[in-house]
Amino acid sequence: MVSWFDESRLDDASALAQHDVRLRELAESGARVRREAGDAAEAIAEAVARSRENGQPRAVIAAGPDSRLLRAVLEPWCPVPFVAWPGPALPGWAGSLDLVVVLAPDGSDTGTASAVAEANRRGCQVVVACPPASMVAEHAAGRWSTILPVATRDQLATAVVMLSYLDQVQLGPATDADQVAQALDDVAISCSPHRDLAVNPAKMLAIALADTNPLVWGGTVLAARAARRIAESVRRASGLTAIAGDAEHLLPILEAARPRDVFDDPFDEGATVRRPVLLVLEDGSQSPYFREQRGRLLAAASERGVRVESIETEASSEVACYASLLLSGTYGAEYLRVGLVTD
């Protein structure tokens, strides 16, 4: 089979209609955040009141496979020792002085249920964001446990619910669900399938990534996580060899790229080597480390004639920036899927 990218499909109503379910799901990201935050508001208030009675925990443990997102947000902020523990158990030292937080958007993971049950057995303070009628919720039932109800199975919306709680107990950064939802809504408007190719950043991104091997880089911890998720979405949507990594991981690939030859025939069907393209996620960070790493990547790309694309956000908080970057890149991956034609 032969595949190629047809950019005219990005403005073709019939082609877009074939992907309506997925595009609609992306467009509703902000609504899911608002719904989950609103439905969990009462439970969050109860958890905050209980936390004040117990005092500040000795340490915070994020358990379960979705703990890595919490780690990316909390590690720079948490005033007590913090550890992410994605396995089905807990650290040996975890006990009644510690707080265990769990994200379980689906609520059916046996490993997460096992970790929650062990936390209850050890007498830990436990806060779980999961569907109320789920296996994880059943294992979370206990004297020192609180369930923050979720229903949409959206990982980001579930994380925002938990981060709202952690913000209110001074264990995490400021997290306003409305700000995150607004950032997602802004992306959904600018990347809507009804917006023409010429003014749609996600459609333009899809065109830039087609027939390339994307290298995705984010300088901050959250931008780096968004880069990994975007690269994963590109791989699933198109089968392209999309890679996300730190600057030292991407620099060798850029430096090994064959310099662009102005005499190359862009329509040569015999040319099978895809050139890399560097996709930089700009979240507004002005740290010296970010600027230095970014400068090295851009210099290497310029030297080898590698095209550079970027995704930018003006969201007002770290979590909102992460959400905006992630949704923008995911839209681009989905439009890449729309434009691919297989013969």
Could you give the 3-state DSSP secondary structure of residue 126? strand
Q: What is the mean pLDDT of residues 124-135?
A: 95
pLDDT score, position 287? 87
Return d(Cα 264, Cα 55) in angstroms, integer.
Answer: 67
Convert 33-81 into a string of H (helix), E (strand) and C (coil).
HHHHHHHHHHHHHHHHHHHHHHCCCCCEEEECCCHHHHHHHHCCCCCCC
Using alpha carbons, list the distances in angstroms from residue 130 to 102, 138, 329.
8, 10, 26
For residue 214, the tally of other CB atoms under 10 A from its CB is 29
Question: For 90-126, what is each residue's pLDDT tens digit?
Answer: 999 999 999 999 999 999 999 999 999 999 999 999 9
Architecture per CATH, 3-29+180-261+270-342: 3-Layer(aba) Sandwich (3.40)
Of all residues in the chain, the percent with pLDDT exceeding 90 is: 83
pLDDT above 90 (res 259) = no
Which of the following CATH numbers is that of domain 56-172: 3.40.50.10490, 3.30.1490.190, 3.90.45.10, 3.40.1260.10? 3.40.50.10490
Return d(Cα 313, Cα 321) in angstroms, integer.
Answer: 6
pLDDT score, position 54? 80
Do the domains spanning 3-29+180-261+270-342 and 56-172 agree at the CATH topology level? yes
Strand extents, DSSP E, 104-237: 125-130, 145-149, 212-218
Q: Quick check: pTM over 0.95?
A: no
Structural domain spans, the chain: 3-29+180-261+270-342, 56-172
Structure tokens at 173: 């950064």
Question: For 17-63, what is each residue's pLDDT tens digit?
Answer: 999 999 999 999 999 999 999 999 999 999 999 888 888 999 999 99
